[in-house]
C-alpha cells in the first residue's frame, strides 16, 4: 500500500466567520463606508452600502392619507382638552405644543422653574400613547449620556449599543443651557435628521419624535448660551408662565388631575397620519408672498443685526398649515400667520446691542412688523 493510500481522507473545512471580529468592526469604523440602515438591527458585515437617503429615520409606509378637516380638528381638540385637565389655564400653550408636534418640529420653553414644563411633556406623551424621558442638563453631562454608548459584552464577545434617553417619543431637555456646547451639539443631528450617530453607526429615532427643551431666563450663572444654529432647530419658542388666580386656586385645591391618569387619545401611527395631512394643507401664492414680506422685514429692521433664516420661513409655513387644519380649514389665512409669527420667529432674531440696551425685544419687533405688513385681502383660499 502506497503512502498516499495509508493517509486518512481529509474532511473539507467549513469557513466560519469570526463573531468577535464581526461585532468589533463598528468600533474601528464601518468597512467600505457602509452604515447600518435601521435602529436596533445592525447590518451584517457583508451587507452592501445603501444610498445615503435611506439612512434617515424611516417614514410612514403606504399611501399618503387625504385631508380630513373634521377628523383632524376633532382629534386636536380632544388632545388639548385631555392635557388641559392637568395643565389648567394654559390652552394656548398646549395648542402651540401640539402644533409643533404635528409640524414635526421641536419646542423651546423659556420659563422659570415650577411652571409645569415637565408635566406638559409627560401629558403630551401620554395622550399619544408614547413614552417620555427627562434629561437634566448639567455642566458635566457628556454627549454619550444623551445618545448612548457601545459597551463590550464579555460573555457574548461583542459590542452592544445601550440607548440613551434621547430614544423616546417626547424628550424633555431640562435646563438645556447648563450643558457645555459640546453636549448641546449632540442634539443638532438628532433634532434635524431624526437620527443619532454613535461610533460611525446611525440609529433612527422613534416615530413620532419631539424635543421639548427648557431654559431659565433669570439665572445665568453657570450657563452656556445656546448657539444660533441650535436655536434655529426649534420650530417654536414660548413660555408656560404662571397660571391665573382661578387656575392657581384649582391647583392648590387639587381639582386638576395628575398626568399619570391621562389616557391615550390617539396612537403614534395616527400622529404620523395627522402630520402627513398637515403637510398637504394648501397655501395660496398671496399667503406665500405675505410670509416672504414678513421674513424680509425681520432682516431689514433697524433694531436687528440678523433676521430670520429660510428655515424660519419654512417653519412658519409648516406651523401655519397645522394651525389651519386644527381649526377645520384646508387652507391658510393671514390670521394663522399673525398668531404664529411671534412664537416661530422671535428666537431667530439677533438684536443690535443698542436696541437691547434700550429694552427692545424680539417679540416687540415681530409684533411691529405684523402691524406694518399689510395682509392679502384676496386669493387666500386658492
Structure confidence by residue, pLDDT tens digits, 69-91: 999 999 999 999 999 998 988 99
Please indicate, yes or no, if residue 114 is contained in any of the structural domains. Answer: yes
In this predicted structure, which of 3-17, 217-231, 282-296, 301-315 has the lowest mean pLDDT?
A: 3-17
- 380: domain CATH number is 1.10.8.80
- Write the DSSP symbol of residue 201: E
Of 381, 236, 252, 202, the closest CA to residue 318 belongs to 236
Residue 382, C-alpha cell as written in the block: 386658492
Q: Look at residues 279, 300, 327 and tell me which one is the last residue of a structural domain.
A: 279
Please give the Cα distance from 344 to 172 (Å, whole number): 19
Quick one: 228 and 146 in the same domain?
yes
- Quote the mean pLDDT of the chain: 81
Q: Look at residues 218, 252, 279 and tell me which one is the last residue of a structural domain.
A: 279
In this predicted structure, which of 45-54, 199-208, 217-226, 292-301 has the lowest mean pLDDT?
A: 45-54
Quick one: 347 and 317 in the same domain?
yes
Residues with Cβ < 8 Å from 359, sequence gap 6 or more? none
Quick one: 299 and 157 in the same domain?
no
Of 274, 266, 260, 240, the closest CA to residue 123 belongs to 260
Domain holding 318, by residue range, is 281-382
Question: What is the count of structural domains for the chain?
Answer: 2
Q: What is the pLDDT of residue 104?
A: 93
In this predicted structure, which of 11-20, 286-295, 347-356 has the lowest mean pLDDT?
A: 11-20
- 212: domain CATH number is 3.40.50.300
Counting Cα atoms < 13 Å in the Cβ hemisphere of 175 gives: 17
Helices marked H in 224-376: 228-231, 245-252, 268-279, 285-300, 310-326, 334-345, 353-357, 362-372
Quick one: 272 and 295 in the same domain?
no
Quick one: 99 and 247 in the same domain?
yes
Q: Is a pLDDT exceeding 70 seen at residue 51?
A: no
Q: What is the pLDDT of residue 293?
A: 96
Q: Is a pLDDT exceeding 60 seen at residue 59?
A: no
Radius of gyration of the chain (CA): 25
pLDDT band at 372 (very low <50, low <70, confident <90, very high): very high
Q: Look at residues 260, 279, 298 and tell me which one is the last residue of a structural domain.
A: 279
Q: What is the pLDDT of residue 24?
A: 37
CA distances from 242 to 88, 122, 261 (A): 10, 18, 23
Amino acid at each position: 500500500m502506497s503512502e498516499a493510500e495509508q493517509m486518512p481522507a481529509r474532511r473539507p473545512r467549513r469557513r466560519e466567520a469570526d463573531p468577535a471580529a464581526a461585532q468589533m468592526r463598528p468600533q474601528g469604523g464601518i468597512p467600505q463606508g457602509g452604515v447600518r440602515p435601521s435602529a436596533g438591527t445592525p447590518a451584517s458585515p457583508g451587507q452592501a452600502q445603501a444610498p445615503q437617503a435611506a439612512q434617515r429615520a424611516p417614514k410612514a409606509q403606504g399611501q399618503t392619507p387625504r385631508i380630513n378637516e373634521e377628523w383632524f380638528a376633532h382629534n386636536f381638540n380632544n388632545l388639548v382638552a385631555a392635557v388641559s385637565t392637568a395643565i389648567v389655564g394654559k390652552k394656548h400653550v398646549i395648542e402651540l405644543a401640539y402644533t409643533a408636534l404635528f409640524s414635526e418640529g421641536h419646542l423651546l420653553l423659556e420659563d422659570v422653574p415650577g411652571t409645569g414644563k415637565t408635566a406638559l411633556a409627560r401629558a403630551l406623551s401620554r395622550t399619544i400613547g408614547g413614552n417620555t424621558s427627562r434629561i437634566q442638563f448639567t455642566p458635566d453631562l457628556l454627549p454619550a449620556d444623551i445618545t448612548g454608548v457601545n459597551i463590550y459584552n464579555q460573555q457574548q464577545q461583542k459590542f452592544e449599543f445601550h440607548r440613551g434617553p434621547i430614544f423616546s417619543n417626547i424628550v424633555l431637555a431640562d435646563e438645556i443651557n447648563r450643558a457645555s456646547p459640546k453636549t448641546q451639539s449632540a442634539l443638532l443631528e438628532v433634532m434635524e435628521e431624526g437620527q443619532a450617530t454613535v461610533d460611525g453607526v446611525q440609529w433612527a429615532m422613534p416615530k413620532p419624535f419631539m424635543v421639548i427643551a427648557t431654559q431659565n431666563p433669570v439665572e445665568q450663572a453657570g450657563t452656556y448660551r445656546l448657539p444660533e444654529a441650535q436655536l434655529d432647530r426649534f420650530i417654536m419658542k414660548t413660555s408656560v408662565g404662571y397660571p391665573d388666580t382661578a387656575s392657581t386656586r384649582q391647583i392648590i385645591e387639587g381639582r386638576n388631575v395628575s398626568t399619570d391618569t391621562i389616557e391615550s387619545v390617539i396612537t403614534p401611527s395616527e400622529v404620523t397620519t395627522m402630520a402627513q395631512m398637515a403637510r398637504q394643507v394648501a397655501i395660496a401664492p398671496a399667503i406665500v408672498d405675505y410670509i416672504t414680506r414678513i421674513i424680509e422685514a425681520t432682516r431689514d429692521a433697524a433694531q436687528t443685526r440678523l433676521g430670520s433664516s429660510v428655515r424660519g420661513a419654512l417653519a412658519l409655513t409648516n406651523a401655519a398649515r397645522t394651525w389651519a387644519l386644527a381649526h377645520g380649514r384646508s387652507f391658510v389665512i393671514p390670521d394663522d400667520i399673525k398668531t404664529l409669527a411671534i412664537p416661530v420667529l422671535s428666537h431667530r432674531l439677533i438684536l443690535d446691542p443698542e436696541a437691547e440696551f434700550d429694552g427692545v425685544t424680539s417679540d416687540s419687533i415681530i409684533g411691529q412688523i405684523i402691524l406694518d405688513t399689510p395682509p392679502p385681502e384676496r386669493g387666500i383660499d386658492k
